[in-house]
Chains A and B, each alone.
Chain A
Amino acid sequence: MDRECVSLLPRVCEVLAASGSSLPDDTSLEKLLDWFTGLTKAGTSLLESCPCLLEFISTVVHNTALDPSILSFTLRLTGFVAVTEVAFKVLQESSVLDLVFNLQHWQEAGLWEDPCIRIGWIQGLRTMMQHPKALSFFVQADFLQPLLQLQTDKSLFVASAANQMLAHVLLSCQSVSSVGSNDVDEEGEDVGRSGGSIADLEYSAVTVETNQDYAAVVTAISECLKKSLVPRENTQLHQSLQILKLLALLLAQTRPPLWEKLLQMVADSVDELLVAGYSQLILPLMDVILAAYSSCDVNRRAPDQRVSRLLSFMLNIRKPADLIQAAAAFLRRGLHDLVHTAQSARVLLLPLDIITGLNLLTTTDEQRFLMMEQLKNKTSCISLICVCLTNTPQMTLMAADCLPCPPVLIVTAVLSLLKLCSGDSSSPSSSSSGCREVSRNVIGSSKVQKCALDALTALSGSPGVEVKLAEVFTLLVQCLDNPDSDPTVLQKSFQALVQWMSVCSDLSSITDQHRQDLLQVVRKRSCDIRWEVRDSTVEFLGRLAGVRVIQTTAEEASDASVAVLGGCCFTTPLLRAALQDTESYVRASAISALAQTLAASWQQGAALTQEQTEIVNQLLEVLSWDTEGFARRAVVRYFIAWLSSMSSHSCVQSPASSSLLMPSVRSVLSRGSADLDWEVKVHTLELAELLLDEAFSGQRGYTKGNPTQTHPYAVIPNTLHTRTHNEEDVVGVLNSLVQWGVVSALLSGLVDCDRPVALRACRLLITLREVVCPLSLGALDATAAMATVARVTCELPGCGWAREIRKMLVMKAKDANAEGGVSGGEVVNCDDCGEAGQEAASVGGQTPCVSVCEVLRSLDLDERLDVLTRSSDHVHNSPLSLLQDILTASSARSQPDTQQEVIADCY
């Protein structure tokens, strides 16, 4: 622990004990507790390192006039202090512990009404309860009854904490008993999950007597569970709900003897609850049953007969809404139970079956009738269908024998549901008035449409559904064409289309008519009045270009954009028009989509077209003039994509690319690094990094990416040494980096006021320095070894970032001169460059040159990196600052003249 903090703590305790109301803000106490939690977790004994806490606790606990938040804090703090047995003993001997957790004490003071005291009491106990002594204390003080009462507390937080605590007590008792009875502890993991370290208990600590006490606790809790599970009247539903939550916690974590016992105690009550059929309790009940069931599953025990029976009962309830919920809950668990999985699937498919009339499954007339009646109500129809749709993708991935029908049929059903939604067709079974009433409920419901489209997207991966591609295609195009489709529906339709085409790579079933329809609709949607729709359309064009497909078996693979839309000749004009859009999101999406569309031609090294040149000019204009950051960021990303696709396939210096790419990259670097948006600048640095990677790949000392993240002893692969360290090479590369503007971009980034920008630039500069003029070489060695490299210079114009850099250089030079001697020579030695730098700094006007090496070696990059790596608020968030804040706030309060309002800094 920080010595300074320790020295401040007693005063802080005094302040808190005196009056809590002078806290700098209401999160201070929480922050203090967080600090204590951290210390406890690190194994520090609080009492040993901060003995003042004992006095603090005993003072506070007697002063019931204090602010309840301080009292609650003290309760919780006591828990942390008493977490070790030694400290616990000390607290107990000083009779502090008894008073702190004495309910009567708080009730008499009239403080128990305050929920923060109650929750403090529970959490304090809970933290403390990590050793048998604490457990004994709990049992002997007879805290069980009050805890059980707190379970139905009117404060939700208190009730939930009480529940957690009860589970913790029971699990602790279980562990202690099992140690006492010499049971083999197979499930340390479970105990660990309950947050305790009880498994480490000493055997000797447990006496026969305490064992009986524990058994009594277990029995009391189980009795309570049994008694309170079934509500006597509707107003007690809340209590049942709490008990069910507790039960779910327990059944998931307890082991056989206790597990059995618990289950046996509550089985009848659960039965009773099931028969009573409270809809509000269905999900918690299902949680209990599934917790019990999965506990068998996880422990590879055969499912308990009772649990299986309960589960079967749940999956056959007569209330359709409850039934669907239960089935969905079961399916989500993904348990290995063929019978019940199949049953759940049947339940979940029933609404889809009824509404589409597709005979997906066979069910009893009664079930069908009940479900149909439920579906006639519009609200419940929509919610049931949505639950059903959300689960369909998971269903189709199940084993074939669990599914009542093949996945293809489910796709057909979803398609026919989508048709119903748009009011296009009637379901085959619409002859009955019931079905007509049901299908009427989904007409025009965009909620169902969205769910169905999500399901359809996910269903693309199901086995054997490829045959449906043409049908899906037709329907999605209809959805896209429908004037009433809302923007989200259109977006999801586009996504579904891309997904289906990427999964079903064989597009031979797509006819020319399909293509024409899609072309029309894309053209229309790219002119839509809503920008969200234009944005999704443009995005679609980009994503489609990234999908590889085969049109016919004879043909070669191409991208889907070429296959269905005819490729660039259709897409590019639309995207170029979108560059003029009034909405910046659309412009940004259009730029990304252009990059995706042109990626293929870049990779193939195809010759540049006039159009591409125009696009580049347009993009550079966007970078210079666009008022919104999104578009400008996208432009930089466009060039990143272009450059990386080129460098992965051919050399940067290849004539075809360098004619356009490299000059543009140069403009992007200079414009991007002068941008006002920090993300544009970060992207620009990414572009610079790409150029560095490309220039020095294989160069010794060059580590791609983040230099600070590489381990000092990391083995550098041999391949990196293949290129010999040729100084002439380095000079050439460095020269071209300077020419492209990489060095300027990095230097301007370094002095940027946005930390992410400066950090990235700093890392890259260090990387560059390590290749060009590593600091590991002594100053004189370096001078000698890099005489040629040092001649590479870059310009430092007289304004903005360059002035900052110059100032830094001058400062460095002054420092060096002051130190004198050898280190002074380091800078001055570089003949005219250093002087030129100095001159320029004082005179200004002309654009002087400095040696890149000199700059890199003089900027104290490592120190800078160290500062930049720490977050800007690292000082403000330290415990020391917290303690100081508390003290300052209290002194400000005691001297009202100098009182200033402290603005709360939220956590």
Chain B
Amino acid sequence: MKLYCLSGHPTLPCNVLKFKSTTIMLDCGLDTTSVLNFLPLPLVHSPRLSKLPGWISKDGTINLEKELKDCAGRVFVDSQPEFCLPERELLDLSTIDVILISNYHCMMALPYITEHTGFTGTVYATEPTLQIGRLLMEEVVNFMERVPKAQSATCWKNKEIQRMLPGPLKDAVDVWTWKRCYSMQEVNSALSKVQLVGYSQKVELFGAVQVSPLSSGYSLGSSNWIIQSHHEKVSYVSGSSLLTTHPQPMDQSSLKNSDVLILTGLTQMPTANPDGMLGEFCSNLAMTIRAGGNVLVPCYSSGVIYDLLECLYQFIESASLGTTPFYFISPVANSSLEFSQIFAEWLCHNKQTKVYLPEPPFPHAELIQTNKLKHYPSIHGDFSSEFRQPCVVFTGHPSLRFGDVVHFMELWGKSSLNTIIFTEPDFSYLDALAPYQPLAMKCVYCPIDTRLNFHQVSKLLKEVQPLHVVCPEQYTQPPLTQSHRSDLMLELQPPPMPYRRCSVLNLPFRRRYERVYILPELANSLVPSEIKPGVSVATVSAVVHSKDNKHTLQHGITEVKVEETADGHILHLQAEDTLIQLEEDGTHIVCDNNEPLRTTLRDLVLRFLQKL
């Protein structure tokens, strides 16, 4: 059993498990932090960004004026942003049988894997994962295609040149693997390979293993996966949460008795408690509005935003924000808000029960009804005429490199009355803000990451008791900036097996058993004899028949009489009334009218003769 690790990002994993004759890819997360090295894509012409000076090395020997721009003391690539893909050279991606997706954030690299690699397998995901994942992909494609860039910068990626560049471009790794965003066509093609599954549904893979998704409590339709054969069980835990937010709670008990537990997707903010952050978010928002400023919340169009809106729904009255407009701007804003209301079976119990009442599960419906929350596909169109300040705007992309957020950064960045509140934990807020410096607007960092923290995961592992744990190497040591916090790492006995990008791990357990079925007729003919109380033994001679990874013992040839002749031997298969003459110069099979048997015997004899 082997594990190939194609991504080094602990919360955007992409691993391949080879287990009994199957090759299973676990998630295909797309590391988008690479876009921080690129210039923002403004929706409206920005004089500031269009007049940036090009970069020339100090000695003047390297001139990349067209590709690199100097902005706010840092060098950025002036090209369409590119993403860092999972490793594609470690194994042949066309050999992958299935891809299991655990949540919509971990499927963004799907088109890069399923298209143009020869992939012919199936992708398994739950329905909300597929639908919301599609929205997120659609949104990114839309953001990119709205602001097309003619040129594609490649010169700077030359190893010799990159070495000479200032940081952080100099330190960027695997830049040659970075790719531009996929097209909508590729997205559709990739998603057409998805087969929907429900929680606890068992899916047979070629009869060899069974896979089954379990609720992971992190987002709508998010799942952990159990991959098991008759005698082995591998659990894949990715992006799970024990907090009471909108999704169905995590199913912990089914993870028990695993031989190997692959643990990914813990919180990226172990020191930021989500409740505290939510409080910070609300108080900073209220403070800004009271002072007459605007609030910008760069966020994904699905996920935590539902909880933010729900929290604000309760907070608006107590903070006297009743008259402040809330805008949600995204090409998929409408679909996202509406989708969330129809996935009732994937919601927490509390929200599920609302389905039977004349009220929608999420209170954002009421915010929309009362005109407190308005959503628009883009800043163009209706929004520009209805826009009122001071207001709160939720919009993407959280990297601040593309999407409508770029426009608001340009619009509000210069006033100290305004505040930008970061709630998504995926990007360093300082790096995200780098091309907008100097910035007068207030910045507040309240990353809300509801995924398991180290304390919770230790408790979970104590409970489910896996024999071995495999996890990203980041989890086996305290964070670099807080080396004294030994509570922010996994301490297990035996110690977890760490992996990094491009690792190939031999998982530390051997398969020792295989299930074999005995046909009833054969079983009937067995004569067990008791060798000690409760234990009986019988000799079996039968034929093993293997098909679709299932093994069956069937009746075979049981009575053989061997006669010696002068030239060799004669085997008499009495029940079948067949003779096999084996002589020095020839072999004859005498079989009465049973051509299939004759052919089988012929092949068998030939195989043995060859071995001799």
Which residues of A line the B interface, CB within 8 A? 423, 425-426, 430, 436-437, 440, 443, 482-485, 523-525, 527-531, 577, 580-583
Interface centre among A436, A524, A529 (most CB of B within 10 A): A529
Find residues 295-346 in chain B having any chain A CB closer than 8 Å to their own CB: 311, 315, 317-320
Contact yes or no, A582 B446, CB < 8 A:
no
Q: Tell whether, in the assembled complex, residue B279 and residue A483 are in contact, meaning their CB atoms are under 8 Å apart.
A: yes
| Pairs across A and B, CB under 8 Å, 14 listed | A483-B272, A483-B273, A483-B279, A483-B280, A484-B275, A523-B287, A524-B287, A525-B283, A527-B282, A529-B278, A529-B279, A581-B318, A582-B317, A583-B318
Known: A483-B277, A524-B287, A581-B318. A529 touches B486 (CB 8 A): no
Interface residues of B in 482-517 (CB under 8 A from A): 482, 484-487
Q: How many A-B Cβ pairs are below 8 Å?
A: 59
CA separation between A430 and B478, bound complex, in Å?
14
B276 within 8 A of A: yes
Instruction: Evaluate contact between B318 and A531: CB separation under 8 angstroms.
Output: yes
Q: Which residue of chain B lies nearest to A523 when distances are taken between CB atoms in the complex? A: B287
Whether the pair A529, B283 counts as a contact (CB closer than 8 A) is: yes
Q: Residues of A contacting B275 with CB < 8 Å?
A: 484
> Which residues of chain B are within 8 angstroms of A440 by Cβ–Cβ distance?
485-487
Give me 5 other A-B pairs in contact (C-beta within 8 A), A484-B273, A529-B311 excluded. A437-B486, A483-B446, A527-B283, A528-B283, A582-B317
Chain B's closest residue to A530 (CB) is B279
CB-nearest residue of chain A relative to B284?
A524
B336: shortest Cβ distance to chain A, in Å?
A: 24
CB closest residue in chain A, given B283: A527
What's the least CB distance linking B314 to chain A, in Å? 8
Could you tell me the distance in whole angstroms from the C-beta of B29 to the nearest C-beta in chain A? 28
Contacts of A524 in B (CB 8 A): 280, 283-284, 287
Bound Cα distance from A525 to B287, whole angstroms: 9
Report how far A430 CA is from B277 CA in the complex, Å.
29
In the complex, A443 Cα to B311 Cα: how many Å? 28
Interface of B is mostly: helix
C-alpha gap A530/B319 in the complex (Å): 11
Instruction: A482 to B482: give the CA distance in the assembly, Å.
Output: 17
Q: Tell me whether B318 and A483 are in contact (CB under 8 A).
A: no
Q: How far is the CA of A582 from the CA of B271 in the complex (A)?
A: 31
- The residues of B that contact A530 with a CB separation of less than 8 Å are 279
Asked if B290 is an interface residue, CB under 8 A from chain A, the answer is yes
Within 8 Å CB of B317, what residues of A? 582
Q: Which of B283, B317, B446, B486 lies at the interface centre, i.e. has the most chain A CB atoms within 10 A of its CB?
A: B283
Q: Which 5 A-B pairs have the closest CB atoms?
A: A426-B484, A483-B276, A527-B286, A582-B318, A484-B276
Is A527 within 8 A of B319, CB to CB?
Answer: yes
Q: How far is the CA of A530 from the CA of B290 in the complex (A)?
A: 17
Q: With the chains together, A581 CA to B318 CA distance in Å?
A: 6
Known contacts A531-B318, A582-B317, A582-B318: A577-B486 contact under CB 8 Å:
no
Please measure, in the bound complex, the distance between the C-alpha atom of A740 and the C-alpha atom of B274, giving whole angstroms: 55
- Main secondary structure, interface of A, reads loop
Which chain A residues lie closer than 8 Å to B487 at the CB level? 440, 443
Distance from B442 Cβ to chain A, minimum over Cβ atoms (Å):
10
A443: nearest chain-B partner, CB-CB: B487
Interface residues of B in 438-489 (CB under 8 A from A): 446, 482, 484-487
CA distance A582 to B272 in the complex (A): 28
Closest to B319 in A: A527
Distance in angstroms between the alpha carbons of A580 and B317 in the assembled complex: 10
- Most chain B CB within a 10 A radius of its CB, from A443, A485, A525, A527: A527
- Give the Cβ gap from A303 to chain B, nearest Cβ, in Å: 47
Question: Which residue of chain B is the closest to A420 with respect to CB atoms?
Answer: B484
For residue B486, which residues in chain A have a CB less than 8 angstroms away from its CB? Answer: 436-437, 440
B290 touches A577 (CB 8 A): yes
B271 and A423 form a contact (CB under 8 A): yes
Contact call B318/A423, Cβ cutoff below 8 A? no
* Nearest CB of A to B399, in Å: 23
Complex CA gap A524/B484 in Å reads 30
Q: In the assembled complex, which residues on chain B have CB atoms less than 8 Å from the CB atom of A482?
A: 276
Could you tell me if A529 and B282 are in contact, using CB atoms closer than 8 angstroms? Answer: yes
CA–CA, A199 to B167, complex, Å? 94
Contacts of B282 in A (CB 8 A): 527-529
Across the interface, A527 reaches (CB within 8 A) one of B278, B287, B446, B485, namely B287
Give A485 to B272 CA distance when docked, in angstroms. Answer: 11
Shortest Cβ distance from residue A890 to the other chain B in the assembled complex, whole angstroms: 55
- Nearest opposing residue in chain A for B288, CB measure: A527
In the complex, A580→B321 CA distance in Å? 11
For A425, A485, A528, A580, the residue with the greatest tally of chain B CB atoms inside 10 Å of its CB is: A528
CB contacts under 8 Å to A, within B144-201, are none
> Which chain B residue shows the least CB distance to A484?
B276
Taking CB as reference atom, which chain A residue is nearest B455? A444
Q: Which residues of A contact B273 (CB under 8 A)?
A: 483-484
Bound Cα distance A483, B275 (Å): 8
Q: Closest B residue to A433 by CB, please name it.
A: B486
Please name all residues of chain A whose beta carbon is closer than 8 Å to the beta carbon of B287 when the two chains form the complex. 523-524, 527
Closest to B311 in A: A529
Is B484 within 8 A of A436, CB to CB?
Answer: yes
| Bound complex: CA A683 to CA B282 (Å) | 37
* Chain B 259-282 interface mask (CB, 8 Å, partner A; 1/0): 000000000000111011111101
Q: What's the Cα separation between A577 and B292 when bound, in Å?
A: 14
* B135: min CB distance to chain A, Å: 29
Residues on B with beta carbons closer than 8 Å to the beta carbon of A577 = 290, 320
Contacts of A580 in B (CB 8 A): 320
Nearest Cβ on chain B to A301's Cβ, whole angstroms: 53
Closest beta carbon of chain A to B294's beta carbon, Å: 16
Residue of B nearest to A427 (CB): B484
Q: Which of A430, A440, A484, A525 has the most CB of B within 10 A?
A: A484
Q: Please, which residues of chain B bring their CB within 8 A of the CB of A484?
A: 272-273, 275-276
Contacts of A485 in B (CB 8 A): 276
CB distance from B17 to the nearest CB of A (A): 34
A580 to B279, CA, bound (A): 20
Q: How far is the CA of A583 from the CA of B311 in the complex (A)?
A: 17
- Give the distance in Å from the alpha carbon of A433 to the alpha carbon of B273 in the complex: 26
Residues 562-599 (chain B) with a chain A CB within 8 angstroms: none
A873–B117 CA distance with the chains assembled, in angstroms: 91
Output the nearest chain A residue to B280 by Cβ-Cβ distance: A483
- What's the minimum C-beta distance from A25 to chain B, rounded to whole angstroms? 45
Complex contact B272–A529 (CB within 8 A): no
Assembled-state Cα–Cα distance A850/B273 (Å): 69
Chain A residue contacts of B319, Cβ below 8 A: 527
Neighbouring B residues of A430 by C-beta, 8 Å: 484
Are A527 and B290 CB-contacts (below 8 A) given A443-B485, A484-B273? yes
B320 proximity list for chain A (CB < 8 A) = 577, 580
Bound CA span A530–B314, Å = 11
A483 to B320 Cα, complex, angstroms? 22
- Closest approach, in angstroms, between the C-beta of B313 and any C-beta of chain A? 12
- Write out the residue numbers on chain A whose beta carbons fall within 8 Å of the beta carbon of B278: 529
* Cβ–Cβ contact B485 & A529, under 8 A: no
Residues of chain B contacted by A528 (CB below 8 angstroms): 279, 282-283
* Residue of B with least CB distance to A581: B318
Q: B286 to A423, Cβ gap below 8 A?
A: no
Chain A: CB-nearest residue to B484: A426
Q: Which residues of the other chain, B, contact A483 by a CB distance below 8 angstroms?
A: 272-273, 276-277, 279-280, 446
Complex contacts, B280 vs chain A, CB 8 Å: 483, 524
CB distance from B209 to the nearest CB of A (A): 40
Residue among B282, B284, B315, B484 facing the most chain A CB atoms (10 A cut-off):
B484
Residues of B within 8 A of A582 (CB): 317-318
- Assembled-state Cα–Cα distance A3/B446 (Å): 78
Give the complex CA separation of A482 and B278 in angstroms: 13
The smallest beta-carbon distance between B103 and chain A, in angstroms, is: 26
Query: Which residues on the A side are within 8 Å of B279 (C-beta)?
Result: 483, 528-530
User: Chain A residues near B485 (CB, 8 Å)?
Assistant: 423, 440, 443
How far is it, in angstroms, between the C-alpha of A468 and the C-alpha of B186 when the chains are bound? 65
Chain B residues with CB below 8 A from A437, complex form: 486
In the bound complex, what is the Cα–Cα distance between A483 and B317 (angstroms)? 22
A428–B415 CA distance with the chains assembled, in angstroms: 43
User: A531 CA to B317 CA in the complex, in Å?
Assistant: 12
